[in-house]
Amino acid sequence: DTEVTQTPKHLVMGMTNKKSLKCEQHMGHRAMYWYKQKAKKPPELMFVYSYEKLSINESVPSRFSPECPNSSLLNLHLHALQPEDSALYLCASSQEYRGDGETQYFGPGTRLLVL
């Protein structure tokens, strides 16, 4: 099973709301990722967790707050977002975070609209 699940599928929020995106995998992977994808663009890396510790933060604004409660679960907490944050948010996982051609498996994404 190479499935990464994400909830919710769609989310509409106001600029003052607080919401969370959830990602789950049961492949025993120890690396998990958040990407942001705007329409007709490639995914942009936001965060990498390796063994439940934040390894990479690609200078993401603090209104995005990641959390990795355990090795199977990854959350992205959202607060005070801007309309330009509207995008498809993709979660991915891989066996580990290392440079030997690890395959990243992507979830279906959460389509976020900020009003």
Partner 1 sequence: AQSVTQLGSHVSVSEGALVLLRCNYSSSVPPYLFWYVQYPNQGLQLLLKYTSAATLVKGINGFEAEFKKSETSFHLTKPSAHMSDAAEYFCAVSSNSGYALNFGKGTSLLVTP
Question: Left, alpha or beta for 63 (phi > 0: left; psi -120 to 50: alpha)?
Answer: alpha
Q: Which is nearer to partner 1, 45 or 80 (CB)?
A: 45
Burial per residue of 8-42, b for 16 or more beta-carbon CB atoms within 10 angstroms, e otherwise: eeebebeeeeebebbbbbeeebbbbbbbbbeeeee
Binding partner 1 by CB under 8 A: which of 28, 53, 83, 100?
Answer: 100
Tokens 């907490």 correspond to what residue?
77
Binding partner 1 by CB under 8 A: which of 109, 112, 113, 115?
Answer: 109
Q: Is 43 a binder of partner 1 (CB under 8 A)?
A: yes
Residues 73-92, interacting with partner 1 (CB under 8 A): 90, 92
Binding partner 1 by CB under 8 A: which of 17, 20, 72, 106?
Answer: 106
Instruction: Point out which span in 13-21, 42-50, 64-72, 73-81 binds partner 1 (CB under 8 A).
Output: 42-50
Q: Which is nearer to partner 1, 68 or 92 (CB)?
A: 92
Spatial separation of the C-alpha atoms in residues 5 and 59, rounded to whole Å: 25
Q: What angle do CA 86, 91, 95 make, to 5 degrees?
A: 160
**Where on the chain is the footprint of partner 1 (CB under 8 A)?**
4, 6, 40-43, 45, 48, 56, 90, 92, 97-109, 111
